[in-house]
Chains A and B, each alone.
Chain A
Amino acid sequence: MLGVAQLQSATLQHLSESDLISKSTAIVRGTVQGSYAAYSGPLIFTHYRVQVMERWKGPAGATVDVAVPGGIVNGIRQTYSGAPQFQPGDQYVLFLWTGKSGMTQIMGFSQGAFAVAQDGSSDPSLTRAASHELMLDPVTHSQVNDQALTMRLSALRSRVASALGAVQ
């Protein structure tokens, strides 16, 4: 069988931490439980079922369906790189955005997915690799580089709470 790999075929806009927090409709820490793929118009999305462990922003709910472009349906594959790919059991902090269609997606592809190290720590580290898709500055529309981020879960939780508190 072919492995499911991703193509680098996306164009992104750089999101700051402030953008991630303020423009997201939900921020959760959760564990991936499973997935399925389905068409939405001509596009294939893989829907991940995420068991919510913590919710820092957004409406309550024990699980959330997170749609990521790409996947395999009826023997046809669409792959869009930069889209994060999850495995069951993986734990993430996800910055999510739900549009008018009701579909929930990750902010800026991999920009909104922070992997939680499952090392047994009460305050595990979070990492987000730099995206190497073509990324544009939101103001100048020129190309910019992304950068990797690493921090403790408690630190991100605190920064999100602080930012949301400032907004409120």
Chain B
Amino acid sequence: MRKRAIVRAVVAVAAALAMGAPVESYYHYTFYFTRSAPFTPVRARFNLAALTSNTLNVFVSDAGPVNYASNDTFGSVLGEVKQAVAAWNTVPDSALQLNFAGLESAGQPQQNTPGIDVVFTEMPPGLLGYGSPNIPVVPLFQKDSNGQLLVAIARSTVALTNDTTNGAGPSELPDFFTTAVHELGHALGLQHTWTGAAMSQGVIRNTTRVRPIDADDVAAFSLLYGAPNWTANYGSISGRVTFAAGQVGVNLASVVAIPAAGPAVSALTDPAGFYNISGLPPGTYMVFVHPLPPDGFTRNAEGLWGPFDANGFQFGPGASFQTTFYPGTTDTTAATTFNLTAGASINQVDFNVQQIEATVPMYDVITRGYLDPSIRDYTVNVNSESDWMSPAFINVNQVQSLVETIYSPLVVPQTVSILGFAPAPVCTADSPCFEVSTPLSALFAYFDAPANAGTGLRHLVFNLNNDMYVLPAGVNLVDKQPPYIDSVTGNPDGTVTLAGTGFGSDSTVYFDSLPALGAVGGTCPSGTSAGCSTITVAPPAGINRQIADITVFNGDGQNSLFLQSSNIPVYSYPAIGTPQLQTVSPMSLPPGGEAMVDIVGVNTSFVDGQVTVGFGTSDITVNRVWVLGPTHLQVNVMVASGAALGSSEISVISGFQVMTQPLAFQIVPAIPGAPVILAVVNGVAGQATIYPNAVATIWGANLANPQITINGEMAQVAYSSGDQVNVAVPADTPTGPIVLNLATSGGSVSLVVPISYAPPVILGIAEASGAAVNATSAATSGDQLTVAISGLDPTVTLASGRLQVEVAGVPMPVQLVSASQIQFTLNQSFNGTQVPVTIVVDGSSSAPFPILAQ
């Protein structure tokens, strides 16, 4: 009976979608309803409706690696995973929040909320890691809360080696990090791309610690988890790929939107040949189509998984064809360029491609650049002393640069170009610079960077006579040498100073896997935009006598390992006591509702922004952590209403310090009648913060007739019912995190509530001349106005992005924010009407000040 109902729903949904849904076919785990057009993709992904606060918890097994490389630690391993999780959180306009949720016991019993498990497992030599979503064998099509179809991922697993003496380890090396990012991408529902990005397969993965995901990853992720309006900030290009001999669509052709400089974004065609590349940042693009390489789709081994129809039958790729740019040229200078603005769509970018019988002539190309250690810069004179990195880098300030390309099978291109550069002269088989010493081909190409070449990702174009191969992000242009660390010196104040070359304001210093505090963006002295020779940073919280590898990563993708991979400088932490948890209170909570947990440690170094608290099950989500001191935390947690009862592990991770209490926390049956808090908000709709003298509204259950204390002070309850309480926040409540306790005859519950400054008060508004502007004295469009204020949160002046000036709800450009005044430009006419001016800080608005606006 239930099964029949599901089938009916699926048919109805399919019929509705067939009428007009856009065709998009990225590299996801994709299903189609039917084997005939139109094809509507249904992708495997996590259902946000099944999560708490749209938050997906990522846990790491507390059974960490068995063997550690020299100087490697569990804290460093966890740091890599934490940052890999954070990388996917940088996707803008995402509805999904990823949360590094600390440790879980290897034998953790049932968890009812979806999540991702990272485990360390025994891997044979040659294997570093793998990841997969758990997908039902028979797809069950569901709708999410927005009415979008999906095949729900209940859980995903990422496996990493439990021996960091082998393979990608030690964990502080960037391979461990990029592997974790890549495998997490699979766990989230992404397959591979042939466009250089974190999810690349067999081609360059041109991502680093400082750029862990790229535009192609963002587009693919957004299609799964974008907020409802995410497409407003991007453009899209769509069309169809058919064989020239007819109107037969090409399945699984890769269509790539590529700018002259910067990252490319691609999509795959559906079985009818239609494609839609969405998620394109505004800019100018060319578009080309290429076939999947032979390893891109094989039925029983490597390659794309699926797509499948609803009955489980796979769609195979179309025949191979010649790569071509739109409108059907292999000459990039003749390719059409499309100017794409945010929210715009360019359609009918169609390709008629020429089928080829032979295999794809060139694919899976990687590039190398070479460094001369004696000059710490790139070189064209390769010898046994040279260091190499992949992908290749070019210093545009050098006269000539070398890019080695390595690929299989053997084919000799007619020309090799960097898109937008003059082609490099190609060495031939009888030239000394072309090697055919192995079955792999190595081709050395020498480029002269044009004037004003700029920096950033560039793309390689191989002309293969009647065919071509394009390698997106094959080369990275930079304008300085890679960083090199000459010395690492500890200072009496606990900071650490690095001396070396190639440092800049874009340098980030890493201690093992974690970035140093204050290292991002500007530790070089002011006025040294060309670089500096020393950087001073504060190390992350370490463990007793930890020896940390020190590396420097620049924003341009270069890092100190280019020249120092075999001789990494280290820093020795001082002796400290063993950090451990002293008290956790409470140690049990019922399903449903939000509550505070207070944590006190010993020998800990809790630092705001570096602390992770986890409760070992995806049924508990940590909403926020407040660091009250080096040994004191307060945490708000949400227990899912459908949480499985039982014990789980408490973990606190601060820097490299890892503290756990296995199976110490319990989800216990709810006490009938006990109060449950679901949310505490400002009682005035639209005010995003809670502040002294505001009325806070508490939503929940069993709340009637409560006694409430705020920061220990009895608060006046203005209204109460079973599911709502309105309470006045005492005027003397300090700003910052405070504890709210609500007690009824059924029990009590505590929660941390962040108290903000009240919005500022507008005292008056004046023109630049000093003339007052008010309800009777008008301002004119274009006027620069000064708002006199009082009561502004002093920290806002250091982060003016937290403040907006709105006129009749319309944001105005702000020029100056100080404690007593704000300057803005009235950039819009209001036709002589009276309109309110408000100051909005952190989402809470001041009282309106009416002005007459021409």
Contact = CB atoms under 8 A, between A and B. Distances in A.
Interface of A: 1-15, 19, 23-24, 40-43, 69-70, 72, 75-85, 96-97, 99-101, 103, 105-112, 129-134, 136, 138, 140-145, 147-148
B124 A5 contact: no
A9 B125 contact: no
A13 B134 contact: no
B128 A136 contact: yes
Interface stretch (B32-40, B257-265, B299-307, B700-708): B299-307
Interface residues of B, number: 71
Contact of A7 (B154, B155, B191, B314): B191
Interface string B121-136: 1111111111110111
Nearest to B166: A13
Nearest to A138: B167
Given A4-B300, A7-B132, A40-B121, 7 more contacts: A3-B299, A9-B131, A9-B191, A10-B130, A11-B168, A12-B127, A147-B408
A1 B167 CA distance: 37
Contact of B300 (A5, A112, A143): A5
A6 B121 contact: no
A143 B305 contact: no
Given A9-B183, A134-B202, A141-B173, A109 B127 contact: yes
Query: Which of B126, B303, B312, B314 gathers most chain A CB within 10 Å?
Result: B126
Contacts of B124: 96-97, 99, 105-108, 112
B130 A80 contact: yes
Give me the 4 closest cross-chain CB pairs, A-B, nearest first: A108-B126, A2-B312, A97-B124, A132-B295
B175 A141 contact: yes
B115 to A, nearest CB: 11
B132 A79 contact: yes
Given A2-B137, A145-B408, A19 B119 contact: no
B134 A77 contact: yes
B157 A13 contact: no
B312 A1 contact: yes
Contact of B157 (A6, A43, A75): A43
Contacts of A85: 300-301
Nearest to A105: B124
Given A41-B106, A145-B408, A133 B126 contact: no
Interface in B131-183: 131-132, 134-138, 154-155, 157, 159, 166-168, 173-175, 179, 182-183
Given A2-B137, A2-B138, A147-B439, A108 B125 contact: yes
Interface string B182-205: 110010000110000000111011
A76 B126 contact: no
Nearest to A25: B124
A144 B366 contact: yes
A124 B813 CA distance: 77
A65 to B, nearest CB: 14
Contacts of A148: 439
Nearest to B368: A142
Interface in B414-459: 438-440
Contacts of A14: 126
B579 interface: no
Nearest to B173: A141
Given A79-B305, A132-B202, A9 B130 contact: yes
Nearest to B407: A145
Contact of A145 (B192, B304, B305, B364): B364
